[in-house]
C-alpha cells in the first residue's frame, strides 16, 4: 500500500491554534506536584527513558528492589521489562508477577501508585496483553475505571489527531498504519485510527464505537480542563480512552484534568509512549547531553562500544551514518548464529 502523505501545516489548519497561555505551565506543575502517587513505569524497551532524566531505572528486580521502587524519593521510577523481546506467554507471566508484587507491597505500606505501561510510539508491542494483565493486579475486585491510551511522542514526530495516529516524515505526516512500522513482522497492524486499532488488536473484544476520546478541539477549548475531567469521571469498567495530542501543551492540559480526576478517586491504567511520562511526572526538560558531560573524566584516546540492531529502514539509515565516522571499526553479526552452540561459542571466543 502506498503511503498517504499529508502536509503537516495543512492538517493543523483544521484545528484550534496551539495553546499559548503560559498559565498552563503553572497549572500543570501545581497539579502533578500535588499528586501523592508514585509513578511506576514498566518499560518494554530500553528507549523509554529518552524524554526523562535524573530518575532511577531498574533493569532487574525482586521483592526487595520493588520495595525500593515504591519508597525511592523520586516520584518517577522506571522498571525495564524488555518485554517487547519476549513471547506473549513470557510477557503475561512477567507482568502478572510484577503487578501482583507491586500491589501487595504498596498495600502493606499504604503507598498510592500509578502503573504506566510505556511502549512504542508507533504502536508496536504486546497490546492489549500487558494492560489487560496489569489491570487485574491493580484492582483485583474489578477493572480500573479507564485505560488511557496516549502514544503521543513529540520528539519523534508522532502525533494523534481526530483519533488517527501519525508518523512525521520530513514535513509530511503518514498515517501510522501505512508506515513501515506497521509492517513489523511480530507486532504489525493495519489501522491508523486508534479506535479501529483497538478493535483490531483486541480481535473485536472491544468495539470501536465503545472507545471514548479526548479531542484536540476539547483540549484547546475555553473550558478544556473541566470538560476533560467530566469525561474521565464518567468512565467505568475499564473504559478505553484515546488522548489526541500534537504538542506538549496539549498533553499538559490533559494531565491537569487527569490529576483532578485521580484526586477525586478515579482509577486509571496507562498505555503510553515516552512523552506522557515526562508530563505526568512533572519533569522539566533539559538540553541534550554533550560529549563533555558524559566523558569529562576520560582521556580522548579512550574508546567506546556501540551495539545497534536494526528492524526498520530508519534505524538502518542511522546506522549507515554512524559507520561512516572516522576511527569506527564495524563488526556485523548475524543473530541466527546464536541458535548454533558451536557458532555462538566461536563468536564469543
pLDDT tens per residue across span 241-286 = 999 999 999 999 999 999 999 999 999 999 999 999 999 999 999 9
The residue-averaged pLDDT of 12-41 equals 91
Taking the C-alpha atoms of residue 301 and residue 251, their distance in angstroms, rounded to an integer, is 44
The reported pLDDT for the residue numbered 307 is 76
Distance between CA atoms of residues 84 and 90, nearest Å: 10
pLDDT, average across residues 310-324: 77
Model pLDDT, residue 34: 97
The answer, yes or no, to whether residue 333 has pLDDT greater than 70, is yes
pLDDT at position 64: 92
How high is the mean pLDDT of the chain?
A: 91
Judge residue 100's burial from the number of C-beta atoms within 10 Å of its C-beta, 0-12 exposed, 13-18 middle, 19 or more buried.
Answer: middle
Q: Which grid cell is 286?
A: 533539559
From 91-95, 167-171, 248-252, 277-281, the region with the lowest mean pLDDT: 167-171
Q: Is the model more confident about 211 or about 314?
A: 211
Question: CB within 8 A of 288, min separation 6: which ones?
Answer: none
Give percent of the chain with pLDDT exceeding 90: 70
Query: Mean pLDDT over residues 98-115, rounded?
Result: 94
Task: Give the model's pLDDT for residue 301.
Answer: 61
Residue 293 has pLDDT above 90, yes or no: no
* pLDDT for the residue numbered 298: 62
Q: Report the pLDDT value the prediction gives residue 194, as an integer from 0 to 100.
A: 98
Least confident of 12-26, 152-166, 218-232, 294-308: 294-308
| Structural element, H or E, at residue 347 | helix 341-348
pLDDT digits (tens, 9 = 90+) for 180-215: 999 999 999 999 999 999 999 999 999 999 999 999
pLDDT at residue 300, as a whole number: 60
pLDDT at 6 over 80: yes
Q: Which among 25, 78, 26, 17 is positioned nearest to 47, based on CA atoms?
A: 78
Q: What is the pLDDT of residue 237?
A: 93
Higher pLDDT, 314 or 253: 253
pLDDT at 330 over 60: yes
CA 176 to chain centre: 15
Looking at residues 53-79, what average pLDDT do you find?
Answer: 94
User: Is residue 302 over pLDDT 70?
Assistant: no
Per-residue pLDDT, averaged over 293-321, amounts to 72
234 three-state secondary structure: helix
Question: What percent of the chain shows pLDDT beyond 70?
Answer: 95
- pLDDT tens digit string along 111-162? 999 999 999 999 999 999 999 999 999 866 678 999 999 999 999 999 999 9
pTM, to two decimals: 0.89
Among the ranges given (87-91, 164-168, 204-208, 309-313), the one the predictor scored with the smallest mean pLDDT: 309-313
**Contact indicator for 42, 77 with CB cutoff of 8 Å:** no
Amino acid at each position: 500500500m502506498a503511503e498517504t502523505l499529508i502536509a503537516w501545516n495543512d492538517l493543523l489548519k483544521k484545528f484550534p491554534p496551539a495553546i499559548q497561555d503560559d498559565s498552563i505551565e503553572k497549572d500543570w506543575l501545581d497539579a502533578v506536584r500535588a499528586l501523592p502517587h508514585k509513578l511506576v513505569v514498566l518499560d518494554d524497551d530500553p528507549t523509554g527513558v529518552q524524554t526523562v532524566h535524573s530518575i532511577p531505572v531498574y533493569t532487574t528486580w525482586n521483592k526487595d528492589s520493588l520495595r525500593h521502587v515504591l519508597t525511592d524519593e523520586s516520584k518517577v521510577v522506571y522498571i525495564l521489562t524488555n518485554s517487547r523481546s519476549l513471547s506473549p506467554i513470557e510477557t503475561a507471566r512477567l507482568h502478572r508477577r510484577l503487578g501482583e508484587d507491586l500491589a501487595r507491597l504498596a498495600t502493606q505500606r499504604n503507598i498510592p501508585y500509578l502503573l504506566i505501561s510505556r511502549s512504542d510510539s508507533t504502536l508496536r508491542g504486546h497490546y492489549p496483553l500487558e494492560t489487560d494483565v496489569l489491570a487485574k493486579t491493580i484492582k483485583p475486585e474489578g477493572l480500573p475505571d479507564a485505560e488511557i491510551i496516549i502514544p503521543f511522542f513529540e520528539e519523534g514526530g508522532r502525533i494523534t489527531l481526530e483519533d488517527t495516529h501519525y508518523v512525521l516524515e520530513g514535513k509530511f505526516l503518514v498515517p501510522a498504519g501505512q508506515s513501515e512500522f506497521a509492517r513489523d513482522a511480530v507486532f504489525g497492524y493495519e489501522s491508523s485510527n486508534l479506535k479501529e486499532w483497538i478493535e483490531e488488536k483486541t480481535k473485536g473484544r472491544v468495539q470501536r464505537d465503545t472507545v471514548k476520546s479526548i479531542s484536540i478541539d476539547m483540549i484547546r477549548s475555553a473550558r478544556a480542563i473541566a470538560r476533560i475531567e467530566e469525561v474521565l469521571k464518567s468512565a467505568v469498567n475499564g473504559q478505553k480512552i484515546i488522548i489526541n495530542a500534537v504538542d506538549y501543551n496539549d498533553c499538559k492540559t490533559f494531565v491537569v484534568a487527569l490529576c483532578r480526576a485521580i484526586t477525586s478517586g478515579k482509577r486509571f491504567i496507562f498505555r503510553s509512549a515516552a512523552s506522557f511520562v515526562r508530563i505526568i511526572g512533572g519533569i522539566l526538560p533539559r538540553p541534550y547531553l554533550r560529549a563533555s558531560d558524559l566523558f569529562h573524566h576520560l582521556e580522548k584516546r579512550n574508546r567506546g562500544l556501540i551495539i545497534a540492531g536494526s528492524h526498520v529502514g530508519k534505524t538502518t539509515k542511522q546506522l549507515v551514518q554512524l559507520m561512516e565516522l572516522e576511527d569506527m571499526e564495524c563488526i556485523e553479526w548475524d543473530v541466527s548464529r546464536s541458535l548454533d552452540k558451536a557458532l555462538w561459542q566461536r563468536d564469543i571466543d
